[in-house]
Amino acid sequence: MSRLTVLLSFLLWPLIAFGQSEEEDIFVEANILGIFYHELGHAVIDIEQLPIFAQEEDAADVFSIYLIDTLYEEESALALAYEASLGFLAEADLREQAAEEVAWWDTHGPDEQRFFNTVCIFYGASPETREDFATDMGLPEERSEYCPDEFWQADDSWGYTLDEMIERGSGETLVFKAPDESLTSEILTHEVAQLNNEMQLREPLEITVESCGQANAFYDPQEVKVIFCTEFEGHLRDLFRSLE
């Protein structure tokens, strides 16, 4: 099921310039969506009671890029994949510049590995049309030959659940509460409406944008709630500028 809409910055109605450049806003939008899909992956695992046979963080990363490939038509999916992948690379570069050691104990994999995993799965979904993407992202040939299998493994893992949610039809199970006037809220308002038009979860999921005192986004299983911290948008803008 391909979505006909594209990234907000490419829609035919005016977008308020939140950042210093259109390129910056596009990077921020793509990474907000990619991160939202990651946290939605955690929520789907919890709400749909899915078995996970590896690290849940890895499964949520796979869900994010799988959703991008599944929901969007090629031009939009490609734009999202480029920017969301570069988000991981920028995180790695920022940590290196700050001389931060890799937190090997963390449940999240190293950012460089998350970058290549994301690139590989997206490339593997259509290797005959995405060779330029793989080349631009520096995907080694030793990895790229396995990427179609990695995509089909992702499809076997997530495809049935996504199809089931889509077969339930439209609904209002994603509930966006108390949005503010930020770009984050504008993006999530649009995305929640789109997802509600296309699918339903077994039970409602609340999404909020609120101050957390840190640049973060996470799923709270106790409250069945995805929280986007207001501080995160500024962090994404810092990441974009670190790539320049």
List, as one string, the DSSP characters of 190-242. Answer: HHHHHHHHH---SS-EEEEEE--SSS-EEEETTTTEEEEETHHHHHHHHHHHH
> Which sequence spans correspond to the domains of the chain?
20-236
Distances (CA, A) of 49 to 67, 118, 221: 19, 24, 12
pLDDT one-digit tens code per residue, 59-96: 999 999 999 999 999 999 999 999 999 999 888 666 65
Write down the pLDDT at residue 136. 97
Write down the pLDDT at residue 180. 82
Write down the pLDDT at residue 4. 42
pLDDT < 70: residue spans in the chain: 1-20, 92-109, 244
Write down the pLDDT at residue 54. 79
| Distance from C-alpha of 217 to C-alpha of 78, rounded to nearest angstrom | 24
Classify residue 99 by burial, with Cβ atoms within 10 Å: 0-12, 13-18, 19+: exposed
Per the confidence metrics, is the pTM higher than 0.85?
A: yes
Write down the pLDDT at residue 242. 83
Write down the pLDDT at residue 116. 96
Write down the pLDDT at residue 161. 96
pLDDT one-digit tens code per residue, 166-184: 999 999 999 999 778 889 9
Residue with tokens 């809409």: 5
